[in-house]
Structures are given as C-alpha cells and as structure tokens.
Amino acid sequence: MSTRESTRRWLRNAITASAIIAGLWPAGGATAEPLSGVVQDAKGPLPGAMITVQGGDPIHAVTVFSDEQGGFVVPSLPATDSHLRVRRIGWKDLRLEALAAGSGPLELTLERETDPQALAEQLPAHRWFELLTREIEDDKQREQFVRQCTYCHQQGNRATRVPREDWQWDKILSLMARMGAVLPADLRARVPELFRRAYDLDTAVPALLQGRAGDELVAAPSPEVRTAVIEEWELGVRSSMQHDLVFHPDGRAYSVDMTQDQLYRLDPETGVSESFPLPAQGLPLGGVFGGRDQPLPPTANSRQGPHSLQVGPDGAVWVTLALGNQLGRFDPVAGTWTTYPLEEGYYPHTLRFDGQGRIWFTIAGSNHVGRFDPETSRFETLRLPARTWTQAIVLRFLPALMWLAERGDGARMESGDPDFMPVPYGIDVAPDGAIWFSQLNQHRIGRIDPESLDVELLDTPFPAPRRLRFDSSHGLWIPSFSSGKLSRFDVRTREFREWTLPTATEGVETPYALHVDRRTDQVWVCGTNSDTLMRFDPATERFTVFPLPTRVTYTREIDFDEQGRVWTSNSNLPTWQVEGGFPRVLRLDPSPAKAEVAGGSGR
Ligand code: HEC
C-alpha cells in the first residue's frame, strides 16, 4: 500500500474518530469541532510531531502529537483567531495562520532543517548548558553553579547565551546576587569567560550536532507520549511569575503570581480566568525584606510575594506570602483574603495540610518549620538545628541583620558561600502522619514528629533535595536539583535508591519538583531545564519523557486533577525569556481516552 493510500485511509478513520471525540470532549470555551490531518515530510508520514493550535485572548493552546502514520486530531479549537504550528526537532516549524473551525483534514508537509546553527537553536536549554558545566572542573563548584544559577530561570536557553562583555556580566551578576544567587568569589570571576567559551557558536554548534542529522538529534516521542494532549492557558502579564499552582476539587486551577501579587483562578471548561489581588496592607515593595536594596527583579510589584498554595479541608485556598511574611487564606466563595502574620522566622515557603487540617510549612530564610492550626489561628514555630556554630549565630541574629540591611547599612553581597544558609524547602506529610522536609543547601532531609515535635536529620547521598513527596506507602520521592536525579527514600528501611533522569544523560537537568499520583503511585517529575515533564513507573523503573510545546517551560510544582491529568505552570523568571513572552499554566492529559472512561472513579 502506498503512503498516499494509507494516509487517505487514515484520514477516513481519523474523521470517524474525531466525530466520536467531539462527542466526548466538553466544548468549553472552544468550538466542539475537531481539526484533523496528517503530517509528513519528503520521505512520507512523520510521527511524533507536535501540532499546536492556539488562539483566543488570553491565549489557549492545544497540542497533540502525530501518530505512526503522521495522523493527528486536535480535539477542540480555541474560540477565535486560531493558528497552527507544527514542530519537531530536526524540521523547520510550519505555521498556518487564520485557521477556521471545521477546516481540514489538513495535509501538512514539513521541511528538514539543514542549517547547523538553526538546528542547534532548536535544542532545549539543558543540551546547551552541558557545554558550560563541562568547563567547570571542580565538582563542588560545578554543583554550586548549577544550584545557584538555575533556580529562577533556565540556563542554556537563548537569552542566557547572548555574547556579553565583562562590564555587562558585572551588571548581570550584581543583579543576580541582589536577588540571592551568590557564587564563591573565584567562581564568579570566571563566569564571563565560562559563558563566552561555552556558547561560542563556532565550537558550540559542532559540539551539539556531533555530525548528526536533524532527525538524530533527539529521539522521536514514544508511542505512549503521542497519545497525550497538552493544553496551555496564558495567565497574567509579561512581568508576572506564576510560581505555584494547585488544582481545586471545585474543578478550577489556582495559581499565584509572585511578582505581581495576584491569585488567579482558571476554569478549564469555560476558559475564563479571574484574578484576585492580594491586599498591600501598607507594606513596601519587597514586603518585610523591602528597603533600599530590594531582593526583587526589576519589573516586580510585590509586597506579599505569594509563593506556594494548597486547598484546605474546607475548600479555602491557603497561600504562603513569602515577602509579606504571613499566611493568607482566600475564600473562593466570597473572594476575600484573611492574613495571619508569622510570629517567628522569615520567608514562609512551601505548605501542606496534615490529616487533622493543620498547615505545616517550611520557613526558608530562617531555618524554621512552622505549624498553623486554622481552627485556633495558632502558630507553633520550630527552629531546626544549624549545621555549624557560625550558621547558628547568624540565624539567631537574622532580625537585627535585616534591620541593618533595610537601612542600607549592610554591605552589598556580591559573592559568598552558596551553602551558608540551610534553606528548608520541600515538605510533605507521610501516610503515617510524620512530617518530612528537605534542607536544600545542606543536602539533608529531616523528619518531625507531629506531636512531640522532635526533629531528626539525615544527610542525602545526593545534593540539593528540593520538593519531595510521598507515595501511598512509605516511599519518599526526592528530586536532586543539581544532579538531575530522582531518588526514593524508604522511611522504614532508611535506604535511598537513585535513578538518573533520562534528560540528565543528555545534558544538565534541574528537577525542581515532583509529585506522586497516589492513586497509581506514578511519579511525575519536572524537567525544568529541558522543557519536559517526565513520568516514572516504580514497578518497571521506566521513564516516559513528555516534551512540552513552549520553548523555555520552567516548572516548579505539579498537581493532579480527578482524572489523573497533570497540571503545572511555566514560571521562568523572567517571563520575557519564555517563547511568546507570557506566563502559562498547563495541563497534560497522558491518555485522553482512558481518562474519559475512568472519569469520576474518585481516588
Ligand atoms: C533569584 C532569581 C535569579 C537567579 C537565582 C538567577 N537569575 Fe539570572 N535573571 C533573573 C532575572 C529576573 C533576569 C531578568 C533581568 C532583567 O530583565 O533585567 C535574569 C536574567 C539573566 C540573564 C539575561 C540578562 C539579560 O539582560 O539579557 C542572564 C545571562 C542571567 N540571568 C544569568 C544568571 C546567572 C549566571 C546566574 C547565577 C549567578 C543567575 N542568572 C541566577 C533572575 C535570576
């Protein structure tokens, strides 16, 4: 059978299939009419291409993958001004403007990209970043560099590769240091040269291509991946940063804009989003950290700095206000805020609810963990042990140091010891009720007894444990941010197991967070530096890598809805580095057909 014949046959099937899908998919905010077609190149059908249809204001984008025969069906189209983009690494992007619903079936032919530089530019940030980290011989410094320079934005993306003079680097590094990215002085001094050498196109492009053709540069998405549907919604403004996101049992996604002090609510069925500003409460820019040298990006407008959020047992949305130094409670029915200032400590970070409705949260700036009981409005604050004597002293005198800094008397910190502050980070509640947390810079995790509040600390065999989560039994899953590893710690046997992320074998990956769907115990990991989400199946120990459609998709948190769909937000800071220049939240449906069948099964 010729390609053309099989294509035609496929199209017939696709149209039938699309009719079925049209009935299955709710039409919310989009036309119910699907769009179908086939992707090919000069050699025939092209599987694994990403077909993205986007339109509307704010933009809603739907992405599907072409199957083995090159066929695709986009289940629903954004309502207005839709256009289409087909993308696969190794081929030139194809764009169609002004797409009408019901148009199609489409026959889309991609052209190979043969220009070496253009090919290299298609590669995600992690592939480029490897060229830079290779230049740092010292293991400790390399780890520090990765940890310090990738926690706001990707490294290796286009914006970070621009050639710059020493004086330009000096300005950039001063700004980064003011916002908290400190490097040891000798490493900092090497930065301009490291970047210039690594990203010199004359050497970088051949190193990335290694004589390979475009289609050999990246493995085609596997058949499991090709059934996925990825939706993205723009939320906020160009200077926004969508830090974390949570999916509410009411069917809507909530996300916090850390730099513009907003809470957003998105209804994926209607596509309608609303925003709820946080009250400024007379706080200066930068909140309690405000003053002459605000630790803020230049376009930030934040006094409260909403950072992490969870839904309480009563349906209220609770938020850590990192800069305002309080907890916020948002009533989703009344649309109102109530805030609770911390009694001790600085920078409330990540929060989780325990089985009794109490909030546990890390307090990153001052090495505390807090507990808050919404019933009584009472805080309990625990000072975590310091690693060293000097660390303990500094942490004790933190309020005085901040008072000085606020008045501009503190010396500007241009370089320093990146491991000095412990930084309590991720936190989760074990199925047995114990509280576990990580200390990012200390390469440690810890356990808190929820009643006696006794603390136990354990060193991790890997650096930078970030946002950890429990599975349904006694497995604590931990991403190692600066070594690109996934680890499982068994809280009973006290053993660690480690797996290298598939994207880390090709470059430098920085998994910021992970989450375990406790219904299936599948582990989802943020491919923060590679524009991917990864699924790990503990039973088979296999990873599935889902490429994401938008270049520079920096993810920091994962949540699931009732159908097991995966939600996250693109929170690269600054947002201008993101393709399209706007922040987005996204939903990945790994197996749409199954999700329909399994819908409503509850846990
Ligand atoms: C606390 C967040 C944060 C960290 C950590 C961080 N950056 Fe940045 N970076 C930013 C922001 C925000 C911008 C955009 C600044 C602007 O728009 O003026 C930026 C921009 C950049 C740019 C592009 C500059 C330009 O004007 O085009 C480079 C290069 C860069 N960062 C390198 C680094 C390096 C190297 C490190 C580690 C020392 C680092 N960043 C750590 C927040 C951060």
Q: Average pLDDT, stretch 89-104?
A: 83
Maximum average pLDDT range among 5-19, 73-87, 570-584: 570-584
Query: Which pLDDT score, from 0 to 100, does residue 25 have?
Result: 32
Res 269 pLDDT > 70: yes
Query: Which pLDDT score, from 0 to 100, does residue 100 have?
Result: 65
Query: Could you tell me if the CB of 153 is within 6 A of ligand 1?
Result: yes
Query: Could you tell me if the CB of 300 is within 6 A of ligand 1?
Result: no
**Where residue 593 falls among pLDDT bands split at 50, 70, 90?**
low
pLDDT tens for 204-238 read 999 999 999 888 999 899 999 999 999 999 999 99
Specify the higher pLDDT residue, 21 or 60.
60
Q: Average pLDDT, stretch 559-587?
A: 96
Q: Which of 65-74, 103-112, 342-351 has the lowest mean pLDDT?
A: 103-112
Q: Indicate left, alpha or beta for 542 from its phi (over 0: left) and psi (-120 to 50: alpha).
A: beta
The answer to whether the Cα torsion of 16, 18, 24, 30 is positive or negative is negative
Nearest ligand 1 atom to the CA of 160 is 29
Res 102 pLDDT > 70: no
Res 576 pLDDT > 80: yes
Query: Which pLDDT score, from 0 to 100, does residue 79 have?
Result: 66
Query: Could you tell me if the CB of 146 is within 6 A of ligand 1?
Result: no
Q: Average pLDDT, stretch 521-545?
A: 98
pLDDT tens for 295-326 read 788 889 999 999 999 999 999 999 999 999 99
Query: Which pLDDT score, from 0 to 100, does residue 526 have?
Result: 98
Query: Could you tell me if the CB of 600 is within 6 A of ligand 1?
Result: no
Query: Which pLDDT score, from 0 to 100, does residue 408 have?
Result: 53
**Where residue 519 falls among pLDDT bands split at 50, 70, 90?**
very high
**Where residue 291 falls among pLDDT bands split at 50, 70, 90?**
confident
* Alpha carbon distance 228, 222 (integer Å): 11
* Distance of CA 366 from the midpoint of ligand 1 (Å): 24
* Alpha carbon distance 397, 386 (integer Å): 13
Query: Which pLDDT score, from 0 to 100, does residue 511 have?
Result: 98
Specify the higher pLDDT residue, 415 or 167.
167
Query: Which pLDDT score, from 0 to 100, does residue 491 have?
Result: 97
Res 403 pLDDT > 70: no
Q: Which of 10-24, 131-145, 336-350, 577-591 has the lowest mean pLDDT?
A: 10-24
| C-alpha closest to that of 158 among 111, 91, 204 | 204
Query: Which pLDDT score, from 0 to 100, does residue 143 have?
Result: 97
Res 420 pLDDT > 80: yes
Q: The tokens 């911390």 sit on which residue? A: 342
Specify the higher pLDDT residue, 201 or 211.
201
Residues 444/468, Cβ–Cβ less than 8 Å: no
Residues 110/41, Cβ–Cβ less than 8 Å: yes
Query: Could you tell me if the CB of 418 is within 6 A of ligand 1?
Result: no
| Identity at 298, one-letter amino acid code | P
Query: Could you tell me if the CB of 179 is within 6 A of ligand 1?
Result: yes
The token duo for 7 is: 């294509």
Q: Average pLDDT, stretch 426-434?
A: 97
Q: Average pLDDT, stretch 531-536?
A: 98
| Averaged pLDDT score across all residues of the chain | 90
Q: For a ligand 1 pocket test, name from 132, 149, 171 the mutation site with the most ligand atoms within 8 angstroms of its C-beta.
A: 149
- Each as own residue / partner, the long-range contacts of residues 389-398 (CB below 8 Å, 24 or more positions apart, any chain) are 391/420, 391/421, 391/422, 394/420, 395/366, 395/367, 398/346, 398/365, 398/366
Residues 424/362, Cβ–Cβ less than 8 Å: yes
* Alpha carbon distance 10, 431 (integer Å): 48
Burial 242-281 (b: 16+ CB within 10 A, else e): bbbbbbbeeebbbbbbbbbbbbbbbbbeebebebbebeee
Burial 205-240 (b: 16+ CB within 10 A, else e): beebbeeeebbebbebbeeebbebbbbbbbbbbebb
* Alpha carbon distance 479, 557 (integer Å): 12
| Identity at 541, one-letter amino acid code | E
* Distance of CA 262 from the midpoint of ligand 1 (Å): 23
Q: Which of 71-80, 342-351, 452-461 has the lowest mean pLDDT?
A: 71-80
Burial 332-371 (b: 16+ CB within 10 A, else e): beeeebebbebeebbbbbbbbbbeeebbbbbbbbbbbbbb
* Alpha carbon distance 603, 260 (integer Å): 35
Q: Average pLDDT, stretch 10-31?
A: 36
* Alpha carbon distance 587, 565 (integer Å): 7
Query: Could you tell me if the CB of 402 is within 6 A of ligand 1?
Result: no
**Where residue 454 falls among pLDDT bands split at 50, 70, 90?**
very high
Residues 436/430, Cβ–Cβ less than 8 Å: yes
Q: For a ligand 1 pocket test, name from 135, 147, 153 the mutation site with the most ligand atoms within 8 angstroms of its C-beta.
A: 153
Query: Could you tell me if the CB of 147 is within 6 A of ligand 1?
Result: no
Query: Which pLDDT score, from 0 to 100, does residue 373 have?
Result: 98
Residues in the chain: 603
**Where residue 395 falls among pLDDT bands split at 50, 70, 90?**
confident
Q: Quick one: how far is CA 34 from the chain centroid?
A: 29
**Where residue 398 falls among pLDDT bands split at 50, 70, 90?**
confident
pLDDT tens for 464-508 read 999 999 999 999 999 999 999 999 999 999 999 999 999 999 899
Instruction: Report how far apart, in Å, the C-alpha atoms of 261 and of each of 146, 235, 276 are.
Output: 28, 13, 9
| C-alpha closest to that of 511 among 522, 521, 525, 531 | 525
Q: Give every CB contact of residue 282 below 8 A, 6+ residues apart in sequence.
A: none
Task: Report the percent of the chain where pLDDT is more than 70.
Answer: 89
Nearest ligand 1 atom to the CA of 574 is 12
Q: Whose CA is nearest to atom 41 of ligand 1?
A: 149
Residues 483/496, Cβ–Cβ less than 8 Å: no
Instruction: Report how far apart, in Å, the C-alpha atoms of 381 and of each of 323, 368, 403 are.
Output: 18, 7, 21
Largest Cα–Cα separation, the chain: 79
